[in-house]
Structure formats: structure tokens, C-alpha cells
Amino acid sequence: MNIRRMNEQDLEEVLLLEKELFSSPWNREHFLFELNENPFSLCLVGVIDDQIISASCAWIIYERAEISTIGVHKAYQRKGYAKEMLEMIHRYCASNGVNQIFLEVRVSNRPAIALYESFGYKVTKVRKNYYSDNHEDAYEMMAEVKNLVR
């Protein structure tokens, strides 16, 4: 998988991927804000044979980062591509002075929780009724960059 920065020309494909993967997908305006206006945003796509099979955005805010979305096309799941994408984000964080990486995940999302745990992320908080679509709770998870499993 070739990982590169997301651009506006990617959005048709990225939006289809979002719809496939998430019950509350990000819309075009959301991605346009990340690409054009949010100075802290790092948005990446993973490409195989000219097809976008993975997308992720993170906010890098000085010594703290937050992974805001990550997804892998269903046909390509469980092949190590999310791991590759996270490793890329982790390397970017390590070389840009980030100490801690945070994220939120639905408490029912076992695949994602297992993915984060495999890198050493730990649950730091439960956020009650975090998701507006079904009022599900979120785990806030965090990893110290220096302790990330490589």
C-alpha cells in the first residue's frame, strides 16, 4: 500500500469509503475543512492499484495528537493495512515532537480496540453517550509516543 497525503481529488472515493465503513460518516464539508482550513490536520490515504483502500485523519497539536478517523475498505481488512497506516502516523508524530496520542472509539468496536491495544494504547476514560446516532459510550484511549509498540 502506498500512503500519501489526501487531496481534494480523492474525496469522491474517500466519501464512498466513509459511507461503507461508518454509521455516521464524515461528509465533504468536513474533509474540505480538514484539507484546506485546519492547520493541525494530517489526512492520509492508502492506495493499492490506483484504488483508495484506506483513509485516516489526525490532528497534530504541538505535543499532543488525536486520531480522528481511520478506516480500511472491507475487502482489504485484516491484512495489516490499518497497522501500516497507524505506523505512518506514529512516525510522523515521533518526528514532530508529539508525546501523547489520543483517540475515541465506540465501546462495541472490538476490531478497532484490538488494533489500538496492539500498539499499547490504553483506555483512559469512558465518555458516556458520546455518539449522537445511537448514544453509545466511547472509550478515550491514549498512548505515550515513546512507549508505542513497534
Chain residues that interact with ligand COA, rule: CB under 6 A: 21, 70-72, 77-83, 105, 109-112, 114-115, 118
Q: Which helix (H) or strand (E) holds 57?
A: strand 51-61
Distances (CA, A) of 74 to 37, 43, 45, 70: 30, 20, 15, 13
Taking the complex as a whole, the smallest distance from the CB of residue 55 to ligand COA amounts, in Å, to 9
Our CB check for ligand COA shows the closer of 96 and 118 to be 118
CB nearer to ligand COA: give 11 or 58: 58
Starting at the edge strand found earlier in the chain, the sheet holding 64-72 runs 2-5, 41-48, 51-61, 64-72, 100-106, 138-144, 122-127
Least distance between ligand COA and beta carbon 81 (Å): 4
Q: How many angstroms from the chain centroid is the CA of residue 143?
A: 14
Q: Which residues is 70 bridged to in the sheet?
A: 56
Ramachandran region, residue 105 (left: φ > 0; alpha: ψ -120 to 50; beta: rest): beta
Using the minimum distance from each CB to ligand COA, give the nearer residue, 36 or 113.
113
**Least distance (Å) from ligand COA to the CB of residue 140?**
11
Q: Cβ 76 to ligand COA, closest distance in Å?
A: 7
Residue 126 exposed, middle or buried by CB count within 10 Å (0-12, 13-18, 19+): exposed
CB of 79 to ligand COA, least distance (A): 5
Q: Which CB sits closer to ligand COA, 9 or 114? A: 114
Q: Which of 39/100 has CB closer to ligand COA?
A: 100
Which residue number is nearest to ligand COA in terms of Cβ? 82
